[in-house]
Amino acid sequence: MLRASGLVKSYRAPSGAPIRVLAGAELTVKGGEFVVVAGPSGSGKSTLLNVVGLLEDADAGETWYADECVSALGRNGRSRARARSVGFVFQSFLLLPSLTALDNVLLAARYAGRGGPDARRRALELLEELGVADRKDHFPPQLSGGEQQRVAYCRAVLNDPPLLLADEPTGNLDDANGAAILEGLRRRARAGAAVVVVSHRPDAAAGATAVYRLRNGVLEA
Amino acid sequence: MTGLRRILRGYAFTIAGITIGVAGLVALGAMSERIVRFIEGGDRFVLGQISVAGRGMGMGTGFTAGGLLPAAAIRKIAEVEGVAGVQSQVMLPLNPTTSQFMTLTQELVLGLDLSVPMPNRHFRELPVRAGRFLREGDRRVAVVGAAFAASRGLGVGGSVTLEGASYQVVGVLERMLTAPDRFVIVPIADAREQWVAKDRLLQAVLASGAAALTAADLNTGAAVGWRDGADPDAVALRIRAGVAGVNVQIPSELSQLLRSSTAFFSALFAGIGALALVIGGLSLANTMAAAVFERIRDFGVKRALGATDVYLGREVLGESLAVTLTGGIAGIAAALLLGAAIDGWAARSSQQLFHFSPRLLAGALGFSVLLGAAAAAWATFRVVSLSPAEAIRRGA
């Protein structure tokens, strides 16, 4: 489902000197695989996820979703590719504070052009499944961190995307909530999705198809 | 509806900012409109007739600042080629003890010869809001201007005392936002009596019998109308040349005089209006753009979820329209309330400071909506040109 090759990405330090974060990273994840990317803080794990998720451009390299080279698409083409193919779970949840939990979940369907009663029914099912159905009308500031991440997870999986990208999804959670989110991601992999999790938690690797370490800008098995 | 409520709740401070900006814009614009209407009204009046007074310094009343205009002079004016009608008038300050420096805002008594139709081409009759206008044969009755009536709580059936005599109010004029708002209009015979009562010099002259004056000679001026197709300036010049002992105001010259005497206020309020437009506009645009930039993280998230430029643009445009419309309407309402409160206070001294014309209100609303939408569109364009990751980082 996901194939990234030769990814290069550099940032500029305040001094102007380039900092190379990715130096030809390669990553292939098939449907049904649960891949964990580990590595020390600042090693470029989040950048890798942003690049393969089309949230930012690489300096070089290609990203393919199935048989489409999505890195070659324009801005709107990439937006459509994300809506169609990718679900994101972020460390800081990134729920919209002005929307209720249910509306936050439904946002994913709206941009994928799948709004309507079916999406609403599915969103309610997911909230129920994650144990936050009773919080559907609450706004993010009224939810705990664990509840917010469960809502964010529901948003990520609402459209049944073939690719799920999770950036430190348990970083701000206690053990119980972290385990629930990881289990949810594993379930998606078992259901056929390609799942990439960036995490420094050892328990994230449990049940993983592959575990990579990002070192010096490249992924090592 | 729920979505709209949510948007408005999310933009509460932005709406408050726009409300204040639009209220300031509308209030200053209404003051500017007020002075413009005053000047336009006066201009329209003086361009509708030729104003003639007797030569001299005399009472210095009204617009013509002349002396006595005797009946013989009025008859001679009527014979001048191109003249269609002459109406004798007496114009007196209501309170002669006050300074006549601000003649245009002074309360005046206007006596009209009702046996002659009003010759003013732009005011064949003065618009009456309640009751009726004066009729030939009336005595001891008055029609009062809107500001005069408001300042004294007068209505039809009320009474006003002028030089010790009581006058029944038979009509109240519509608010014209110009000089007649402060007029008390009475039959000319009554005005002549008031003039004599006010002017000790005139009393002495009449008592001495030194001048052979009749009541018909006691006129401070006359309004002269011209025939269809005649050039009013040319008719006025013919009166000046053909009738001795009169001051004749050439309509175009009087218009020019009025404009130059109000030029300072006109320029002042035009400047205030322009400043209001710039300051209010900048404040509104800045508030709206800031509201979009404040939500840069939300835009990043939405793009991450798949929102395209068109989708985001439509969303922001819809939101900015709702926000600026709400803020604009609230701002107009605030300005109307503020104006009503201040004008309520100013009415006690026969003044009105604001004129909220439909063109001002529609213009202010249109301006705020368009500017708000343009500012939001510009800010959105800036935001969507960032990558979603960068937008999220900057908004964190």
Q: Are residues B208 and B291 in the same domain?
A: no
- What ipTM describes this predicted complex? 0.94
With 70 as the cut, is the pLDDT of residue B282 above it? Answer: yes
> What are the tokens at A88?
């994101």
Contact B305 A75 (CB under 8 A): no
Contact B306 A82 (CB under 8 A): yes
With 80 as the cut, is the pLDDT of residue B7 above it? Answer: no
Beta bridge partners of A88: A165
Interface test with A, best of B11, B305, B386 (most A CBs within 10 A): B305
Question: What's the alpha-carbon Rg for chain B, to the nearest Å?
Answer: 29
Predicted pLDDT of residue B237: 94
Mean pLDDT of A165-170: 92
Residue of B nearest to A158 (CA): B305
Distance from CA of B330 to the nearest CA of A (A): 23
Who has greater pLDDT, A169 or A172? A169
> What are the tokens at A153?
């997870």
Q: Are residues B207 and B88 in the same domain?
A: yes
Give the model confidence (pLDDT) of B211-269 as tens digits.
778 888 999 899 999 999 999 999 999 999 999 888 888 888 878 887 787 778 778 87
Q: How confident is the model at residue B278 (pLDDT cuts 50, 70, 90)?
A: confident
Contact B304 A88 (CB under 8 A): yes
Predicted pLDDT of residue A86: 96
Contact B309 A57 (CB under 8 A): no
Name every residue in A having a CB less than 8 A away from some CB of B: 50, 53, 55-57, 75-76, 79-80, 82-84, 88, 92, 94, 96, 98-99, 107-108, 111-112, 155
Tell me the percentage of chain B whose pLDDT exceeds 70. Answer: 92
Distance from CA of B42 to the nearest CA of A (A): 55
Predicted pLDDT of residue B62: 43
Q: How confident is the model at residue B384 (pLDDT cuts 50, 70, 90)?
A: confident
The reply to whether B385 falls in a domain is yes
Residue of A nearest to B308 (CA): A76
Q: How confident is the model at residue A65 (pLDDT cuts 50, 70, 90)?
A: very high
* CA B288, chain centre distance (Å): 34
Beta bridge partners of B252: none
Give the model confidence (pLDDT) of B13-25 as tens digits.
888 888 888 888 8
Q: Are residues B200 and B315 in the same domain?
A: no
- Name residues whose C-beta falls within 8 Å of residue B255's C-beta, 6 or more positions apart in sequence: B43, B46, B47
Contact B388 A57 (CB under 8 A): no
Beta bridge partners of B173: B128
The reply to whether B171 falls in a domain is yes
With 70 as the cut, is the pLDDT of residue B38 above it? Answer: yes
Residue type, B30: A
Chain B hits for A107, Cβ within 8 Å:
302, 305
With 50 as the cut, is the pLDDT of residue B305 above it? Answer: yes
The Cα–Cα gap between B178 and B176 comes to 5
**Domain boundary pick from B180, B212, B244:** B244
Predicted pLDDT of residue A23: 94
CB B131 within 8 A of CB B156: yes
Q: Of the ranges A143-152, B54-63, B273-282, B363-372, which one carries the lowest mean pLDDT score?
A: B54-63
Chain A hits for B308, Cβ within 8 Å:
76, 79-80, 111
Give the model confidence (pLDDT) of B74-128 as tens digits.
999 999 999 999 999 998 888 776 555 445 567 889 999 999 998 898 888 889 9
Predicted pLDDT of residue B64: 43
Q: Are residues B153 and B289 in the same domain?
A: no
With 50 as the cut, is the pLDDT of residue B63 above it? Answer: no
- CATH code for position A92: 3.40.50.300
Give the one of B309, B311, B389 whose C-beta lies nearest to A111's C-beta.
B311
Distance from CA of B319 to the nearest CA of A (A): 13
> For the purposes of burial, counting CB atoms within 10 Å of the CB of A141, is it exposed (0-12), middle (13-18) or buried (19 or more)?
exposed
Q: What domain range is A155 assigned to?
A: 2-220
- Name residues whose C-beta falls within 8 Å of residue B207's C-beta, 6 or more positions apart in sequence: none
With 60 as the cut, is the pLDDT of residue B191 above it? Answer: yes
Q: Would you give the end-to-end CA distance of chain A in angstroms?
A: 19
Chains A and B form CB pairs within 8 A to the count of 59
The Cα–Cα gap between B328 and B363 comes to 11
Predicted pLDDT of residue B66: 58
Contact B388 A55 (CB under 8 A): yes
The Cα–Cα gap between B297 and B396 comes to 7
Distance from CA of B302 to the nearest CA of A (A): 8
CB A151 within 8 A of CB A143: yes
Contact A82 B304 (CB under 8 A): yes
- Tally the domains of chain B: 2
Q: Are residues B176 and B271 in the same domain?
A: no
Predicted pLDDT of residue A143: 95
Contact A96 B308 (CB under 8 A): no
The Cα–Cα gap between A188 and A195 comes to 8
Distance from CA of A28 to the nearest CA of B (A): 21
Q: Are residues B14 and B91 in the same domain?
A: no
Q: At what angle do helices B200-208 and B188-198 cross, to 10 degrees?
A: 100
Residue of B nearest to A139 (CA): B6
Who has greater pLDDT, B202 or B119? B119
Residue A151, phi then psi, degrees to nearest 5 = -65, -45
CB B108 within 8 A of CB B93: yes
> What are the tokens at B163?
């030089």
> What are the tokens at B30?
């209404």
Give the one of B311, B387, B392 whose C-beta lies nearest to A94's C-beta.
B392
Q: Are residues B85 and B187 in the same domain?
A: yes
With 80 as the cut, is the pLDDT of residue A161 above it? Answer: yes
Q: Are residues B60 and B30 in the same domain?
A: no
DSSP-derived secondary structure for B109-173? EEEE-TTS----SS-SSPPEEEE----TT--SEEEE-HHHHHHHT--TT-EEEETTEEEEEEEEE
With 80 as the cut, is the pLDDT of residue B291 above it? Answer: yes
Chain A hits for B387, Cβ within 8 Å:
55-57
The Cα–Cα gap between A134 and A129 comes to 11
pTM: 0.67
Give the model confidence (pLDDT) of A178-215 as tens digits.
888 899 999 999 999 999 999 887 888 888 999 999 99
- H helices of chain B, in order, are 2-10, 12-46, 71-79, 146-152, 188-198, 200-208, 232-242, 251-261, 263-294, 296-304, 309-346, 358-384, 388-395
Q: Are residues B293 and B194 in the same domain?
A: no
The reply to whether B257 falls in a domain is no
Predicted pLDDT of residue A115: 80
Give the one of A79, A98, A155 whose C-beta lies nearest to B303's C-beta.
A79
Contact B305 A53 (CB under 8 A): no
The reply to whether B249 falls in a domain is no
- Tally the domains of chain A: 1
The Cα–Cα gap between B68 and B288 comes to 64
The reply to whether B270 falls in a domain is yes
If you average pLDDT over every residue of chain B, what do you get?
85
Give the one of A76, A92, A107 whose C-beta lies nearest to B305's C-beta.
A107
Number of neighbouring beta carbons within 10 Å of residue B217: 18
Q: What domain range is B182 assigned to?
A: 56-244
Predicted pLDDT of residue B59: 46
Q: Are residues B227 and B267 in the same domain?
A: no
CB A135 within 8 A of CB A79: no
Q: Of the ranges A33-37, B199-203, B245-249, B367-371, which one carries the lowest mean pLDDT score?
A: B199-203
CB B352 within 8 A of CB B346: yes
**Domain boundary pick from B194, B214, B244:** B244
Q: Are residues B6 and B84 in the same domain?
A: no
Mean pLDDT of A164-179: 88
Mean pLDDT of A111-128: 92
Q: Are residues B107 and B190 in the same domain?
A: yes
Who has greater pLDDT, B101 or B307? B307
Tell me the percentage of chain A whose pLDDT exceeds 90. Answer: 74
> What are the tokens at B47?
């361009």
